[in-house]
């Protein structure tokens, strides 16, 4: 089983970032990615999409994925396969999650997402440093 956790961050100045942590057995991988999105929900969807794309690129499509995020919107959209305000973002996410054998999405409280939150914040900071 693969454990995947993602977080999206969006700042008032319009910068956004994604934090991604995935673990298979004892191997732990982290990534911090700058994003171009319109708001925090879009950042959460994009972070999840990028996380699954990383697993796909690593050749792990045949694995079961336990996916956790602090975004209730992303978890509800995955479970219902519907999102009123974020249909394009959900479609992009489903296009990649549907390639996996089995995905268990689960909402977790923000207080349990420190590492991915910090990675998303690092992506924001790198963008500020470049401007």
- Whether residue 59 contacts residue 8, with contact meaning beta carbons closer than 8 Å, is answered with no
Residue-level pLDDT at 59: 96
Residue-level pLDDT at 131: 72
Q: What is the CA radius of gyration of the chain?
A: 14
Residue-level pLDDT at 56: 97
- Whether residue 82 contacts residue 75, with contact meaning beta carbons closer than 8 Å, is answered with no
Q: For residues 51 and 7, what is the distance between their CA atoms, to the nearest angstrom?
A: 10
Mean pLDDT of all residues belonging to the chain: 96
- Whether residue 96 contacts residue 49, with contact meaning beta carbons closer than 8 Å, is answered with yes
Give pLDDT < 50 ranges for the chain. none
Residue-level pLDDT at 29: 97
Entry pTM: 0.96
Residue 54 CA: distances (Å) to CA of 33, 58, 61: 12, 6, 10
Q: Using one digit for the tens of pLDDT, what is the confidence trace for 30-62? A: 999 999 999 999 999 999 999 999 999 999 999
Backbone angles phi, psi at 18, to 5 degrees: -125, 140
Give just the sign of the alpha carbon dihedral 13, 122, 109, 93: positive
Beta pairing class for 16-24 and 27-35: antiparallel
Residue-level pLDDT at 102: 96
Residue-level pLDDT at 31: 97
Backbone angles phi, psi at 47, to 5 degrees: -60, -45
């Amino acid at each position: 089983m693969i454990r995947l956790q993602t977080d999206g961050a969006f700042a008032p100045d319009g910068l956004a970032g994604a934090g991604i942590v995935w673990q298979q057995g004892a191997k732990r991988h982290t990534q911090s990615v700058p994003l171009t999105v319109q708001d925090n929900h879009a950042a959460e969807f994009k972070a999840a999409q990028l996380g699954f794309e990383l697993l796909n690129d690593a050749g792990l499509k045949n694995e079961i994925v336990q996916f956790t995020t602090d975004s209730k919107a992303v978890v509800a959209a995955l479970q219902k396969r519907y999102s009123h305000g974020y249909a394009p973002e959900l479609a992009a996410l489903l296009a990649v999650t549907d390639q996996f054998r089995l995905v268990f999405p689960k909402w977790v409280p923000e207080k349990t997402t420190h590492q991915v939150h910090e990675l998303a914040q690092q992506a924001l900071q790198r963008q500020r440093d470049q401007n």
